[in-house]
Amino acid sequence: MLVPELSDGYHTLVMSGIGDHLMREGYFISAPTTGTNPTWLKKYPRLLVGRGAEGIIVIDTALHHAFAHSPSWPFAGHRKIAGVTNVLLDHRRAAELSLRHLHQLGHRHVAFHARQSFSSDSDDRWRSLVAVAKELGIEIRPELTIQLERDLTSPELGYPVVQELLQQRRAFTAIVSFNDIAAIGAIRALRDANLRVPEDVSVNRFR
Protein backbone atom coordinates (compact mmCIF):
# COMPACT_ATOMS: atom_id res chain seq x y z
CA MET A 1 0.00 0.00 0.00
CA LEU A 2 1.15 3.51 -0.77
CA VAL A 3 -0.11 5.92 1.87
CA PRO A 4 0.22 9.67 2.55
CA GLU A 5 1.79 10.99 5.72
CA LEU A 6 -1.57 12.27 6.90
CA SER A 7 -4.46 9.81 7.08
CA ASP A 8 -7.81 10.68 8.59
CA GLY A 9 -10.23 8.30 10.29
CA TYR A 10 -11.55 6.96 7.01
CA HIS A 11 -8.17 6.09 5.64
CA THR A 12 -6.88 4.62 8.89
CA LEU A 13 -9.82 2.24 9.05
CA VAL A 14 -9.41 1.31 5.40
CA MET A 15 -5.69 0.61 5.81
CA SER A 16 -6.43 -1.59 8.82
CA GLY A 17 -9.23 -3.47 7.06
CA ILE A 18 -7.27 -4.04 3.87
CA GLY A 19 -4.21 -5.15 5.81
CA ASP A 20 -6.15 -7.62 7.95
CA HIS A 21 -7.83 -9.18 4.91
CA LEU A 22 -4.64 -9.52 2.88
CA MET A 23 -2.77 -11.07 5.80
CA ARG A 24 -5.54 -13.64 6.25
CA GLU A 25 -5.15 -14.50 2.58
CA GLY A 26 -1.41 -15.04 3.01
CA TYR A 27 -0.08 -11.84 1.44
CA PHE A 28 2.86 -9.83 2.74
CA ILE A 29 2.11 -6.10 3.03
CA SER A 30 4.49 -3.19 2.62
CA ALA A 31 3.17 0.30 3.39
CA PRO A 32 5.70 2.99 2.36
CA THR A 33 4.75 6.61 2.98
CA THR A 34 4.77 8.87 -0.07
CA GLY A 35 3.54 12.11 1.47
CA THR A 36 2.59 14.51 -1.30
CA ASN A 37 5.92 14.26 -3.13
CA PRO A 38 5.33 13.26 -6.78
CA THR A 39 8.92 12.05 -7.09
CA TRP A 40 8.36 9.36 -4.46
CA LEU A 41 5.03 8.42 -6.04
CA LYS A 42 6.95 7.59 -9.22
CA LYS A 43 9.85 5.90 -7.45
CA TYR A 44 8.05 3.60 -4.98
CA PRO A 45 5.92 1.68 -7.53
CA ARG A 46 8.99 0.89 -9.63
CA LEU A 47 10.80 -0.40 -6.56
CA LEU A 48 7.81 -2.49 -5.44
CA VAL A 49 7.18 -3.97 -8.88
CA GLY A 50 10.89 -4.72 -9.25
CA ARG A 51 10.72 -6.68 -6.01
CA GLY A 52 7.77 -8.77 -7.12
CA ALA A 53 4.74 -6.86 -5.87
CA GLU A 54 1.55 -8.46 -7.20
CA GLY A 55 -0.54 -5.32 -6.82
CA ILE A 56 -0.44 -1.79 -5.44
CA ILE A 57 -3.14 -0.14 -3.32
CA VAL A 58 -2.86 3.65 -3.31
CA ILE A 59 -4.56 5.52 -0.45
CA ASP A 60 -5.54 9.20 -0.68
CA THR A 61 -2.88 9.95 -3.26
CA ALA A 62 -3.48 11.67 -6.58
CA LEU A 63 -2.75 9.02 -9.21
CA HIS A 64 -2.33 10.15 -12.83
CA HIS A 65 -1.44 6.89 -14.59
CA ALA A 66 -1.42 3.13 -14.21
CA PHE A 67 1.68 1.39 -12.89
CA ALA A 68 3.47 -0.76 -15.43
CA HIS A 69 3.28 -4.54 -14.94
CA SER A 70 1.23 -4.33 -11.75
CA PRO A 71 -2.52 -3.83 -11.11
CA SER A 72 -3.40 -0.88 -8.90
CA TRP A 73 -6.40 0.07 -6.79
CA PRO A 74 -6.56 3.71 -5.67
CA PHE A 75 -8.66 4.23 -2.56
CA ALA A 76 -10.31 7.64 -2.92
CA GLY A 77 -9.10 7.94 -6.50
CA HIS A 78 -11.17 10.18 -8.75
CA ARG A 79 -9.59 9.93 -12.19
CA LYS A 80 -10.65 7.46 -14.85
CA ILE A 81 -7.44 5.68 -15.81
CA ALA A 82 -7.25 2.63 -18.07
CA GLY A 83 -6.31 -0.48 -16.09
CA VAL A 84 -6.97 1.15 -12.72
CA THR A 85 -9.88 0.30 -10.38
CA ASN A 86 -11.00 3.18 -8.15
CA VAL A 87 -12.58 2.63 -4.73
CA LEU A 88 -14.70 5.65 -3.80
CA LEU A 89 -16.11 6.94 -0.53
CA ASP A 90 -19.71 8.14 -0.17
CA HIS A 91 -18.88 11.73 0.71
CA ARG A 92 -22.47 12.81 0.27
CA ARG A 93 -23.55 10.47 3.06
CA ALA A 94 -20.68 11.62 5.26
CA ALA A 95 -21.68 15.26 4.77
CA GLU A 96 -25.28 14.44 5.68
CA LEU A 97 -24.23 12.69 8.88
CA SER A 98 -22.01 15.59 9.98
CA LEU A 99 -24.25 18.52 9.09
CA ARG A 100 -27.60 16.98 10.01
CA HIS A 101 -26.22 16.23 13.47
CA LEU A 102 -25.16 19.83 13.95
CA HIS A 103 -28.43 21.11 12.48
CA GLN A 104 -30.46 18.99 14.89
CA LEU A 105 -28.46 20.44 17.77
CA GLY A 106 -29.54 23.90 16.64
CA HIS A 107 -26.31 25.11 15.04
CA ARG A 108 -26.73 27.63 12.22
CA HIS A 109 -23.45 29.55 12.39
CA VAL A 110 -20.91 26.92 11.34
CA ALA A 111 -17.23 27.32 10.50
CA PHE A 112 -15.66 24.94 7.98
CA HIS A 113 -12.19 23.57 7.35
CA ALA A 114 -12.66 23.74 3.59
CA ARG A 115 -9.98 21.62 1.98
CA GLN A 116 -6.40 20.50 1.55
CA SER A 117 -5.63 20.89 -2.14
CA PHE A 118 -3.23 17.93 -2.24
CA SER A 119 -5.77 15.43 -0.84
CA SER A 120 -7.47 13.35 -3.53
CA ASP A 121 -10.76 13.61 -1.62
CA SER A 122 -10.68 17.36 -1.05
CA ASP A 123 -12.90 18.59 -3.89
CA ASP A 124 -15.53 15.86 -3.51
CA ARG A 125 -15.76 16.41 0.25
CA TRP A 126 -16.25 20.13 -0.20
CA ARG A 127 -18.87 19.79 -2.97
CA SER A 128 -20.83 17.39 -0.76
CA LEU A 129 -20.70 19.73 2.23
CA VAL A 130 -21.86 22.68 0.12
CA ALA A 131 -24.78 20.70 -1.33
CA VAL A 132 -25.99 19.36 2.03
CA ALA A 133 -25.55 22.74 3.75
CA LYS A 134 -27.75 24.32 1.09
CA GLU A 135 -30.46 21.70 1.64
CA LEU A 136 -30.43 22.28 5.40
CA GLY A 137 -30.35 26.05 5.16
CA ILE A 138 -26.89 26.36 6.71
CA GLU A 139 -25.11 29.30 5.13
CA ILE A 140 -21.45 28.75 4.25
CA ARG A 141 -20.00 32.15 4.99
CA PRO A 142 -16.63 33.12 3.43
CA GLU A 143 -15.39 34.60 6.71
CA LEU A 144 -16.02 31.24 8.42
CA THR A 145 -14.45 29.13 5.68
CA ILE A 146 -10.87 28.09 6.43
CA GLN A 147 -8.51 26.85 3.72
CA LEU A 148 -6.06 24.23 4.99
CA GLU A 149 -3.03 24.70 2.78
CA ARG A 150 -0.31 23.38 5.11
CA ASP A 151 0.93 19.80 4.73
CA LEU A 152 1.23 18.81 8.39
CA THR A 153 0.90 15.59 10.35
CA SER A 154 0.17 17.22 13.71
CA PRO A 155 -2.73 19.16 15.30
CA GLU A 156 -0.85 22.31 14.28
CA LEU A 157 -2.85 21.87 11.06
CA GLY A 158 -6.08 23.03 12.71
CA TYR A 159 -4.83 25.11 15.65
CA PRO A 160 -3.71 28.48 14.18
CA VAL A 161 -6.60 28.84 11.73
CA VAL A 162 -9.19 28.46 14.49
CA GLN A 163 -7.15 30.72 16.73
CA GLU A 164 -7.30 33.36 14.00
CA LEU A 165 -11.08 33.03 13.77
CA LEU A 166 -11.34 33.60 17.49
CA GLN A 167 -9.03 36.62 17.39
CA GLN A 168 -11.18 38.14 14.64
CA ARG A 169 -14.22 37.60 16.87
CA ARG A 170 -16.11 35.63 14.23
CA ALA A 171 -19.45 34.38 15.52
CA PHE A 172 -19.78 30.61 15.22
CA THR A 173 -21.11 27.81 17.41
CA ALA A 174 -19.71 24.78 15.54
CA ILE A 175 -16.80 23.70 13.36
CA VAL A 176 -16.77 21.00 10.69
CA SER A 177 -13.17 19.80 10.46
CA PHE A 178 -11.62 18.33 7.33
CA ASN A 179 -10.10 15.41 9.22
CA ASP A 180 -9.16 14.07 12.66
CA ILE A 181 -5.86 15.95 12.90
CA ALA A 182 -7.46 19.31 12.10
CA ALA A 183 -10.26 18.59 14.61
CA ILE A 184 -7.75 17.94 17.41
CA GLY A 185 -6.01 21.23 16.65
CA ALA A 186 -9.35 23.07 16.58
CA ILE A 187 -10.34 21.66 19.99
CA ARG A 188 -7.01 22.70 21.47
CA ALA A 189 -7.40 26.25 20.13
CA LEU A 190 -10.90 26.51 21.58
CA ARG A 191 -9.83 25.22 24.98
CA ASP A 192 -6.87 27.60 25.06
CA ALA A 193 -9.45 30.38 24.55
CA ASN A 194 -11.39 29.05 27.58
CA LEU A 195 -14.20 27.69 25.43
CA ARG A 196 -15.73 24.33 26.24
CA VAL A 197 -16.20 21.60 23.64
CA PRO A 198 -19.00 20.79 22.95
CA GLU A 199 -20.84 22.99 25.48
CA ASP A 200 -19.71 26.30 23.89
CA VAL A 201 -18.58 25.16 20.45
CA SER A 202 -19.21 21.78 18.81
CA VAL A 203 -16.43 20.24 16.72
CA ASN A 204 -17.49 17.64 14.17
CA ARG A 205 -15.01 16.06 11.81
CA PHE A 206 -16.03 15.08 8.29
CA ARG A 207 -16.59 11.34 8.69
Q: What is the pLDDT of residues 70-114, one digit of tens each?
A: 666 556 666 677 777 777 778 899 899 999 999 999 999 999 988
Domain residue limits, the chain = 9-75, 91-205
Average pLDDT, the chain: 80
Phi and psi (nearest 5°) for 205?
-80, 150
DSSP code for 84: B
Task: Report whether 92 contacts 62 (CB < 8 A).
Answer: no
Q: pLDDT band at 116, cuts 50/70/90?
A: low
| Percentage of residues of the chain with pLDDT beyond 70 | 72
pLDDT for position 201:
97
Domain 91-205 maps to which CATH number in 2.30.40.10, 3.40.50.2300, 3.30.70.260, 3.30.450.20? 3.40.50.2300
CB 204 within 8 A of CB 98: yes
pTM over 0.75: no
Residue 10: pLDDT above 60? no
Higher pLDDT, 170 or 69: 170
Q: What is the pLDDT of residues 27-61, one digit of tens each?
A: 777 666 655 566 766 677 777 777 777 777 777 66
Spatial distance between the Cα atoms of 136 and 13, rounded to a whole number of angstroms:
29
pLDDT at position 141 is 95
Coil, strand or helix at 9: helix
**DSSP per-residue codes, 175-205:** EEESSHHHHHHHHHHHHHTT--TTTTSEEEE
pLDDT value at residue 5: 47
Least confident of 21-25, 110-114, 115-119, 128-132: 115-119
